[in-house]
Each structure stands twice: as structure tokens, then as C-alpha cells.
Amino acid sequence: MKSYDVIVVGGSAAGLTAAQTVRRHYPNKRILVVRKEERVLIPCGIPYIFGSLENPRENLVPDIAYEKMNLGLHIDQVMDIDRENRVVKTEKEEFGYEKLILGTGSYPAMPPIPGHDKEGVYAVIKDVQYLTDMQEKLKPVKNVVVIGGGFIGIEISDEINKSGVENVSVIEIEKHCLYQSYDEEFCVEMEQQLQSRGVNIYTGSKVISIDGGEHVESVKLSTGKTIAADIVILGIGAVANADLAKKIGLRIGLTGGIVVDRAMRTSDPNIFACGDCAEKVSFFGGNSSALRLASIATLEARVAGANVFGIKRETPGTIGVWGTAVGDLALGTAGLTEKMAKAHGYNVVSAVNESVNRHPGKLAGAAKIKIKLVFEINSGVLLGGQIRGDASVGEITNAVSACVQNRMTAEQIAMFQSGTHPLITASPIAYGIVNAAEAAISKMIKVKEQL
């Protein structure tokens, strides 16, 4: 039996990043990654295999890191772990370990909808062959129904629509698509964008049943409407894959993930967990968080990998930073939206700035950028921000996240020292984050004067 200093179970965003981090911090350790997939899909790129990319094989994580960083790789299914003797048991072999990192990921959430097991009903499973089959089945169809109007739902629906499918419909139980992730005004803009591109939107609608014979033929809604469907895609989120952790007796949390501390240690001090399989706590107050994103997974992996032989890092909790794009419209969120902040019990003030990301605005590439920042009134601390615009939204969102993570106040952001240039940024006079902070300060002064 071969033994390793560190074994990582799982080779996607969390597992690979954890292994790379171990190598960087402990260059002389023997490291093995055990994963069940022959090739690993880029999780966030899956929607784009249905339109922008030709097939799932164009959306793969390169394996070059294993050779480049001297990481062992064993492709096999882990069946059990002997915690007492520190042995990982796969279908084919057994490996000894000193420290273990679990990065087993997540499963697609499966709703208890009658008919969800019919032929032609697909979940978004991270498997090359499954998605290749799904892609082939989509080619001749006329009617596709996507259940779920979150990121996965709107991105897949737009990509399938781009591929030439005649009728693509999104069904969302909430008041708006993306309603859990953005304030209403941002959701409305994205719905309008989707509709302008030919996607049908049904919000405030619950799916009662998926109907047909052996194969799906239609979807029935709570409103009484029936929508024709040759293919149904379930895009309603993910749940932690903690099956192995449960089997070996690790502690499981409220949202179904593996309980970890801020150093990503599980209830077994020799086992760490990171990514979608791990339980999360919010940056805002420390309550459980159900967020599962590749960006969160890689942060946790960098914590777990650095800590296996001595605590060097701790996660501050999940801020929640994400983005989505359809056509030339991009949306981003970092931290709490105004709606979320109020639900958390914060007294808030919000401020909006709209400007152009070039100066003058007639320059090529100019786009209108809207920034909405949310502050706690008494302390002035930034709780979150939302951004609407073009592709530049991604890095603006990340800049807002840095401000949130460092608990910057409106006054500190107003004093932010930025570099600007006509071809790549907004004018220094109309710099969005700074001007939104100044507008919030003005509002806070008025609120305090009225007290």
C-alpha cells in the first residue's frame, strides 16, 4: 500500500486548488489527488456548451498542473475511509495518508416534481458524457423548458436559444428571475434582456407536474398554463455531496454540508473539507450560508491546503460575490443587496451612481455602468454592492468585494485613490464607486439630522 503525506479527494475547483496550495506551502510533501472523473469540467462554463462552445470537451480543466506541480493523480471512486488507520479505500486500491482533504463537490438539487424522472428531463450534472448526450438530444427539438430562473437557468436558456431552438422558456417560482441574488430593479433589466433575445419568462409560477408518457411532453404550472416541452432542464441549484463524510461519521451541518471551522478542519483533526461539500457561514453575522460557488470553493481550498500541517489561514466567512451575463448585459453582486441587508436586520442607506466607463463617452467601448452600494447607517460600513453594465462589471464587483471584506466605510471609499484613463475607466470626476459613496454620505447626514 502506497502512503502519501496528503490525499485530496475530488479534482474540481476545490480539490485541485487545495492540492496546488499544499504544494506551494509544503514543497517536499507527497500529494495525491483521487478523483472519479477522467476529465473535469469547468463548473461555471457548463451553460456555454449549449451555444457558445461546440461540445463539453471545450470546457475542461487542463490537467497540466499535475505534472507541472508534481501532484499524483489516481482516477477512481473512493468507497470508504478508515479514519483510525488513515487509509483511503477506492474501488481498485488503498492509500495511506497523514492528512486528508475532502473536496467532493455537490449534486444538482432535484425537486419533488411529479414526472421529474421522465425521459427528456435533465439536471445539470458535471459529467462529460451526460452533457454530451444532453447536447445531442437538444439538436432536433423545438420546445425547451428550463425550471429555475437563477444563474444556471438564465444562462442555459439564453445559450440554447442562441443555438436555434424555436421556443425556450424559463419557469421561476419567485417574483423575478435572479430574485435571490439581486434587488428588483436589476432583476427586471435581466428579464427584459432575455425576452428581447427571444426567451419566454414565466415568473411567480410553480411547476405542478412534468407530463407525458415515458418521454416528457409538457410542463404544467400553478397558474393553470401548460407549456409544450420536448426537453426539460432542471436548474434550481446544488446540494452538498457529503455522502462519504456521512459514511465515515464526520459531523454534518444545517445545510447538509460537512461542518468545518474557520481553518476548514472537520470534526476529525486530520481531515479538512472545502468547496461545495463543506458547510459555510456568512461573513455577515456568522449564520449558516447555503451559497455554493466555484470562487468560494477555491478560497476555502487555499485555506485548507495551507493549514494541513499547521494553521496559517482562517476564512472570514462567505461574503457572496457573483456575476452573470446575457448578451451585452452583465450584472454583479458583492456582499448584501439592499433587500438582503434589511432581511438581516441592518438599518441601511443605499445610493446609486450611473456613469460611463470611458471619458469622453463617445469613445469606442463606452458603456453605461450602474453601481448601487448599501451601507449600515450608524457605522457607515459597506455591506454590499450591485453593478450593471458590460464586461467591466466583473472586476468592479471584485473591487466592491475587497471593500466589503475590509469593512470599509463610505468615508474611506470616498477617499479611494483610483487610477483612470480615457480608454479603460470612467472619468475621475464620475468614478462610480466613489460617487456612490459620496451620495450615501449625503443621505446618512440627512438621516442623522432628522434623529
Other Cβ atoms within 10 Å of 64 Cβ, number: 8
For the segment 67-98, what is each residue's pLDDT rounded down to a tens digit?
999 999 999 999 999 999 999 999 999 999 99
- Residue 196 makes CB contacts below 8 A (sequence gap 6+) with none
DSSP tag of 309: T
CA distance 164 to 168: 10
Instruction: Give the right CATH number for 110-236 from 3.50.50.60, 3.30.390.30, 2.60.40.1180, 1.20.1640.10.
Output: 3.50.50.60
The pTM for the full model equals 0.95
Average pLDDT, the chain: 96
For the segment 330-347, what is each residue's pLDDT rounded down to a tens digit?
999 999 999 999 999 999
Residue range 328-450, CATH number? 3.30.390.30
Is the predicted pLDDT of residue 451 greater than 80, yes or no? no
CA distance 433 to 251: 42
Is the predicted pLDDT of residue 284 greater than 90, yes or no? yes
Domain pair 2-107+239-307 / 110-236, same fold: yes
318 strand-pairing partners: 282
pLDDT value of residue 447: 85
Residue 287 C-alpha cell reads as 449564520
Closest CA to 41 of 148, 131, 101: 131
* Burial category of 405 from C-beta neighbours within 10 Å (exposed 0-12, middle 13-18, buried 19 and up): middle
The CATH homologous superfamily for domain 2-107+239-307 is FAD/NAD(P)-binding domain (3.50.50.60)
Residue 336 C-alpha cell reads as 448584501
pLDDT value of residue 49: 95
* Burial category of 181 from C-beta neighbours within 10 Å (exposed 0-12, middle 13-18, buried 19 and up): buried
pLDDT value of residue 111: 86
**Cβ(155)–Cβ(190) under 8 Å?**
no
Using the Cα atoms of residue 269, residue 274, residue 276 and residue 282 in order, give the sign of their dihedral. positive
Identify the three-state secondary structure at position 441. helix
For the segment 354-389, what is each residue's pLDDT rounded down to a tens digit?
999 999 999 999 999 999 999 999 999 999 999 999
Average pLDDT over residues 393-410: 98
pLDDT value of residue 357: 95
CA distance 164 to 313: 48
DSSP tag of 312: -
Domain locations along the chain: 2-107+239-307, 110-236, 328-450
**Cβ(418)–Cβ(354) under 8 Å?**
no
Range of weakest confidence among 105-114, 274-283, 372-381, 442-451: 442-451
Is the predicted pLDDT of residue 318 greater than 90, yes or no? yes
- Please, which pLDDT band fits residue 450 given cuts at 50, 70 and 90? confident
pLDDT value of residue 346: 97
For the segment 213-246, what is each residue's pLDDT rounded down to a tens digit?
999 999 999 999 999 999 999 999 899 999 999 9
Query: How far from the centroid of its chain's Cα atoms is residue 93's Cα?
Result: 34
In the block, cell 397558474 appears at: 223
**Cβ(59)–Cβ(42) under 8 Å?**
yes
Q: How many helices (H) and strands (E) does the chain have?
A: 11, 24
- Residue 304 makes CB contacts below 8 A (sequence gap 6+) with 18, 21, 101, 263, 264, 272, 273, 274
Buried residues in 157-167 as b, exposed as e (16+ CB within 10 A):
bbbbbbeebeb
For the segment 17-26, what is each residue's pLDDT rounded down to a tens digit?
999 999 999 9
Give the side-chain half-sphere CA count within 13 A for 430: 17
Using the Cα atoms of residue 210, residue 216, residue 219 and residue 220 in order, give the sign of their dihedral. negative
Please provide the DSSP assignment of 351-400 as one string: EEEEEESSSSTTSTT--EEEEEEEEETTT-BEEEEEEEESTTHHHHHHHH
Range of weakest confidence among 236-245, 279-288, 442-451: 442-451
